[in-house]
Every structure is written in structure tokens, then in C-alpha cells.
Chain A
Amino acid sequence: QKEVEQNSGPLSVPEGAIASLNCTYSDRGSQSFFWYRQYSGKSPELIMFIYSNGDKEDGRFTAQLNKASQYVSLLIRDSQPSDSATYLCAVRVDSWGKLQFGAGTQVVVTP
């Protein structure tokens, strides 16, 4: 069973600070990694994807991938109350595009 692990949280972050979320995965052959944001009662929204080692930045979000250590992380800079949500890490596990999801990390941004 290919696994994706995340800390469940909640991760409490002061407004304006950096939120750091981590995700580890078990399948060393995985090549594609995704971060989804899910507000309470809503469906997941894709916010970042990364395929190569290193950093990828998009606005206030930075995804970091280290395949050797089998972890992927998400940084949220200048955190806002609207960033309060559950963040799901997902890893592509086969050639058909199937994703394995972590259980999610709840982020709470406090004013």
C-alpha cells in the first residue's frame, strides 16, 4: 500500500507569518505531487503541483520537493485568515493518473 503522510494539525499560524506544511510518501518511484486546499464543507481545489526537485513558487505559495528524502512541502507566506483550511497532499501513483491522498493538515490563521 503506497502511503502519503501528513501531520493532521491543527497548525496555528499568526496572520502575516509563514505556514509550513510537510508531506512524506512511501513510493520512491512517484514523479508528480500536488497540493489541494479544502475549505470546510467544500471540495478540494488544486493550488500547486510540482514534478521536479527544488522549489516552485506561485504567488504566496511555494512547493518544495525532495525526491531523495521522499518529502514534499508547502509554504504559505504572509498567511491570511482566508488561508484557514485543510491542505491535502497528493501523489500520483500509477500511469493512469491515480492519486494517493494524505489525510490533510488543518491550518488556522489567527488575526
Chain B
Amino acid sequence: SQTIHQWPATLVQPVGSPLSLECTVEGTSNPNLYWYRQAAGRGLQLLFYSVGIGQISSEVPQNLSASRPQDRQFILSSKKLLLSDSGFYLCAWSGQGANEQYFGPGTRLTVT
């Protein structure tokens, strides 16, 4: 069966510091991968999605970036965090040609 991991689970970072969040998927090959952010009391906002290694599409222009160095690894980064970057960051995967997306456990980021 497929499993999706995210780490760290929680993170507190000062404004202006860098960020690196990691997501890995097990039990499947060539998945579509997605990064979402959920601000407190808000809906899910799609940040990036990837249909293959090195193929990244950005949905929202901001100070975040994403990379996919391996088939089942998706990384979300920032060089300098803003207060507005606080939120619940969720990675999701879907199979190629499949519709359903499955979410990882998430990383709760607080920027102070």
C-alpha cells in the first residue's frame, strides 16, 4: 500500500530564516505530487504541483519554491520566511491518470 510522509511535523522559525519541508511517497511510482497551504481557519490553497522529476508548476507567486529531485520526493523551500508564510503545509499525491489525491500528515509552520 502507499504511504506518504512529511517532516518535520511542527516547525517554529523566525522571520527571514530559510525553510525546507520534505515529502516522500512510498509504494508507488511516478506519482503526481502537490503542495498545499492551509492558513488558520481558511481553505486549502494549491502552491505547487509536479507530474514528474524536475517538472514543477507554480500556482501562486510568492517567496516559496519547490523541487522534485527524485521520483517520490517533493521539497518545499524558502530563502527568507515572512510572517504570512505561517500555516499548515500539506503534501498530497495521486497516481498517474488517477483523480483521487491523498494527503500526508502535514507540517505546521509558525513564523515568529
> A residues near B, CB below 8 A?
32, 34, 36, 42-46, 49, 51, 88, 90, 92, 96-99, 101-104
Bound Cα distance from A16 to B59, whole angstroms: 42
A97, B99: Cβ atoms closer than 8 Å:
yes
Max chain A Cβ within 10 angstroms of own Cβ: one of B88, B101, B105: B101
A46 to B92, CA, bound (A): 11
Chain B at the A interface: SS class: strand
Report the number of A-B residue pairs with Cβ-Cβ less than 8 Å. 50
Kindly specify which of B12-20, B40-48, B60-68, B77-85 makes contact with the partner chain.
B40-48
> Which chain A residues lie closer than 8 Å to B106 at the CB level?
42-43
B94 touches A97 (CB 8 A): yes
Verify B42–A43 contact, CB threshold 8 A: no
Q: Restricting to B83-112, which residues have a CB under 8 Å from any CB of A? A: 88, 90, 94, 98-106
A32 to B99, CA, bound (A): 7
Tell whether B53 is near chain A: CB-to-CB under 8 Å: no
B residues in contact with A51, CB < 8 Å: 99
